[in-house]
């Protein structure tokens, strides 16, 4: 999915500042957080 594609269907719900964040940062931030939680899980696996 492209950064611009992440806005598909959500554009009317966001202001310009939020749209800019989604286009430039959201995917990178999400991936880095997922990698962090993989290393340091919140929920202990059984």
Distance of CA 8 to the CA centre of its chain: 14
**Range 21-28 contact pairs with CB under 8 angstroms and sequence separation of 24 or more:** 27/1, 27/3
How confident is the model over 1-46, as pLDDT tens digits? 777 777 788 878 889 999 898 888 988 999 999 999 999 988 766 6
Where does the chain show beta strands of DSSP type E?
none
In the prediction, which pLDDT does 45 show?
A: 66
The pLDDT of residue 42 is: 82
What is the C-alpha separation between 8 and 3, in angstroms, rounded?
Answer: 10
The model carries a pTM of: 0.62
- pLDDT of res. 12: 84
Per the CB < 8 A criterion, the answer to whether 11 and 19 are in contact is: yes
């Amino acid at each position: 999915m492209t950064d611009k594609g992440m806005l598909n269907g959500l554009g009317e719900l966001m202001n310009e500042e939020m749209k800019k964040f989604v286009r430039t940062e959201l995917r990178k931030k999400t991936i880095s957080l997922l990698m962090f939680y993989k290393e340091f899980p919140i929920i202990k696996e059984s």
